[in-house]
Structure 1
């Protein structure tokens, strides 16, 4: 089974895709860049890296393969294990493993994996349709030198002209200045009038509000039954969830939540049913990926090795 295509599909949505028993591919978003040497602009993208120390199964790749290939989860895990064994054999024989749309993994003299990314596609969905382009340099100094040379070579020709009477321009200029000053004065008068009228309206409205406040203060029928509006609390969105499992039956999900709370996970609860009709049960949710990953590793080590990370965008 070619699991590279499933890894590529998951990298569009997730920052970490773990291959159980082999390692994990990480996606880091980078901003747009400019190469000053080649004058090439590159759009923002996800930079792919590899970490051979993250080998624990988080269930993400197995569940995705099971859904896409229409097989069971155990069959998907078995297929992943067979592929990983094949990768290890290829690295041992040729010292090189090439994964399509991901990159090349080589084994150095110390037996460590060295990853060289080769991603012709951009996994950042926000940059869809953007491509790199090269802009030619603007040679301002060369153009200025050419213009100055042309000015030096151009001859200056003096031709006699008949003196004309331009006295009428003098009166036209005086009329234009007067017209400009008059227009400015009218605009100032008009703006001042509007500002004064607006102030009067605001003062009348303020007086009416004060009168209503006094009436409300001295003519309340039941002074002890005043209802004050309560401002709703704004809850921050925490997009990272550590999932214990997903259940088709809501009662089974509630049972799992009760068991987690009995083991000390006070924030355990169910979240909204996903598009596959399953009810996820979570240990808790977090605001940053670092907090979520730290909690995930602790839960895998102490409670559940099959826990996995869910990111809601």
Structure 2
């Protein structure tokens, strides 16, 4: 029987813990029906003893981490919305325990923003990781030694796992079940919870907004020009017309300030506008293409898929009201 430890962190997101427990409990029931024995020994692990289990899952009584000698798999739930850095500090007591479990051979998985606590252990150093689409930039800033991949749904780097936001937790758990049990069990669980298996990207959940946090006023002016005229076929020369800067120096300054080139910035503005139009069914797809400054249908579809992870048609079918 595999020993599963689910971290009962401070400021955990209740739905995250509930999803983890429900999935593994469902697998245990499935195995009991098939073999007479559960597959996982499930434990909620707390910093200290708690008198009562969480009200959403009274089956499991939290165990103080000092009483858990060894785990095969440790799962860190998502945090509530708020100051993630403060939450990590409040859960610092778990850090050495998680590392000890890993040193003894345990694999470790984090759901959504739980990746911040996992990163604090050092187990993500030089490893691929992801998190909620709104949190990946902060994860990369706070832990520069982590290889953050904002688009993927699940990462698995030598037994250290992370997942994207919200329902990506289910995809992580299915991945773990396929690895620990078998694909048949993963498919059974996916059907039980009505989950689409093998989703590879979460980029189409992201809403990109231009950053103005830098202090470069010239770049701010250029950003405003691009945002005002994104429908036009702008060139870099037109963007900087009248500004006291050369083309080469502008491109360098722009990337330093925003993290992307002027062309990439303009592309993102246009694609975000296209997404909004597709969601609202304001135009047919050709009309959306024209309204956002594109004339080549093939190039528009390719760029849209590259940035969003879906074709314009697939995006409209998924999100149009």
Normalising TM by the smaller chain, what interval? under 0.3
Q: Structure 2-normalised TM-score? A: 0.22
Q: Structure 1-normalised TM-score? A: 0.22
Higher fraction of strand: 1
Higher fraction of helix: 2
